[in-house]
Amino acid sequence: MARQPNILFLMPDQLRWDFLSCYGATFVDTPNIDRIANEGVRYARAYSTSPICVPARASLLTGLNAIRNGVTDNGQWLRPDLAACGIRTWPEQLNAQGYYTAAIGKMHFYPWDINHGFQYRAICEDKRWLHVRDDYYHFLHERGHRKYHGNEHAGYFENRGAIISRLPWELSWDHFVGQEAVRFLRTYGDNADDAPFAMMVGFPGPHCPYDPSQEFLDQIDPTAMPAAAPNAGHTPKLNQQNVEGNKRPWNGVDYTEFTAEHKRKIRAHYAALVKQIDQEVGEILATLEAIGQLDNTIIIFASDHGDYLGDHDLIGKGSFYEASIHVPLLVRFPDGSQTGVHEGLVTLGDVTATILALAGCPLPDYLDSRPLPAIGLETTAREQIFGMVSNGWMVQDERWRLAKYSTGEAVLFDLQNDPDEQHNLIDSAEDQTVRQQLEMALTQEIMRSLALAHEEKRVYRSDLSQDIGYGREGWQRPYPQAIGTAP
């Protein structure tokens, strides 16, 4: 019987889709990432439905949406009794299927050194968490360096976080992660007759601070950067929250004044960070070829969310604007059997069911995740997708997006005719039928998710009134209940 394929999941942090040349960018060249796209399937409309670092990763681990898994912002994390609730992370399920699982780089778990089923970890955490004593911390310490805050670099405040890293390229965050992935593969290559591997590689970049090495910035023409989408004034309260949040110590930058020149510089630095990651992807692909495993490895490339980069006068991520939620998603099969571009709606969370299906794992019945279409897996197309974070909800179909925020602000965009989200149609008389249909779909999904989010508290699923045992003294309530039938 043929051995199961290796699975490699590459996930840069905060990479928007339109800063890759395979998605049409002409101002930055990403040949190695493009290779994955050209030799596989590129998903043109992939969305991160919980566009914040930790919620996106919690959904990937569990296959559950943010309301159901309880992680809707960066200050929350998964309950410690997942197994008692019948939930197993995707690496745990792959371990049971005979895979050796590895996590390299940023995972953003709490605590940061927990395994969550990964049998091997080489840790390089978020670029803003400077006190984490991970593998990268010790790597730098041994070489006379440490993790530097953005504000320890010249021009940090006046350039709104766009700087040149104090660390040489060979000591940089993304190079460290790329080289750790290469080291794992080389070690694996010496034992390739053992179990297949499933490795997730989490690059810390191009997340801010926008701190490329000079040699990569030299490859970028700042004047070629596309202009940011204008701020049409639809969500002033949300924008103010964005400004205030970025003043906190993790960043410390005031974006109250955010000029076109600021945005152009940030975008050029961001593009250079993307170039750095592309180089590391090239090293990983070359190593797979060198150890004879490229033709036995399925490669998935995606990101946890995007980055506004000045669109709508915003920076970072967290809302349901296109720049925040639209992400790259690529899948390459080793035999070249699946290629092309898929135009339908898919979500980042669908990577979970896809990995399980590709590994031959039976899919748990509790998943919100679905196997991706266009790669030969049994699945159901998505007509709508739903987004959930602590301060907002979203529903989107092929043409329309409705988003509602805790600020009381709401937006309805016709993405087909208004891709830059400049015209809020929430009060447009002629679009009220569309609004009502989307409102109903969103309400139903939130109600479904909230009910299922509390399944572990359920006392019974049928008619307990006819249970003789319940009527006797000392009956014990079953807790926690399993939320589904885990295989």
Of all residues in the chain, the percent with pLDDT exceeding 70 is 98
Tokens encoding 463: 């008619």
Summarize pLDDT for 97-137 with one digit per residue, the tens: 999 999 999 999 999 999 999 999 999 999 999 999 999 99
The verdict on whether omega for the bond into residue 209 sits within 30 degrees of 0, i.e. cis, is yes
Mean of pLDDT over the chain: 96
Cβ partners under 8 Å of residue 134, min gap 6: 112, 113, 123, 124, 125
pLDDT of 35 = 98
What Rg, from alpha-carbon coordinates, does the chain have? 23
pLDDT of 337 = 84
Provide the CB-side half-sphere exposure for 363 (13 A, CA): 21
Summarize pLDDT for 137-180 with one digit per residue, the tens: 999 999 999 999 999 999 999 999 999 999 999 999 999 999 99
Give the model's confidence band at 485: pLDDT under 50 very low, under 70 low, under 90 confident, else very high: very low
Residue 190 has pLDDT above 80, yes or no: no
Give dist(CA 234, CA 421) in Å, integer. 9
Mean pLDDT of 331-342: 93
Mean pLDDT of 296-323: 98
Helix (H) or strand (E) holding 257: none
Q: Is residue 413 classed as helix, strand or coil in its secondary structure?
A: strand
Give the model's confidence band at 486: pLDDT under 50 very low, under 70 low, under 90 confident, else very high: very low
Residue 487 has pLDDT above 70, yes or no: no
Give dist(CA 106, CA 21) in Å, integer. 24
Summarize pLDDT for 428-446 with one digit per residue, the tens: 999 999 999 999 999 999 9
Give dist(CA 204, CA 374) in Å, integer. 29
With contact defined as beta carbons under 8 Å apart, do 284 and 181 qualify? yes
Give dist(CA 359, CA 101) in Å, integer. 12
Tokens encoding 421: 């989200």
Give dist(CA 401, CA 395) in Å, integer. 6
Mean pLDDT of 312-320: 98
Model-level pTM?
A: 0.97
pLDDT of 484 = 66
Query: What are the chain's domains?
Result: 6-389 (3.40.720.10)
Of all residues in the chain, the percent with pLDDT exceeding 90 is 95
Mean pLDDT of 286-308: 97
Mean pLDDT of 383-397: 98
Summarize pLDDT for 270-280 with one digit per residue, the tens: 999 999 999 99
Mean pLDDT of 177-201: 91
pLDDT of 2 = 61
Summarize pLDDT for 362-377 with one digit per residue, the tens: 999 999 999 999 999 9
Residue 294 has pLDDT above 70, yes or no: yes
Give dist(CA 373, CA 342) in Å, integer. 8
With contact defined as beta carbons under 8 Å apart, do 225 and 268 qualify? yes
Q: Is residue 392 classed as helix, strand or coil in its secondary structure?
A: strand
Give a three-class secondary structure readout of 132-200. CCCHHHHHHHCCCCCCCCHHHCCCCCCCCCECCCCCCHHHCHHHHHHHHHHHHHHHHHCCCCCCCEEEE
Mean pLDDT of 43-70: 98
Would you call 397 exposed, middle or buried from its count of C-beta atoms within 10 A (0-12, 13-18, 19+)?
middle
Residue 1 has pLDDT above 80, yes or no: no
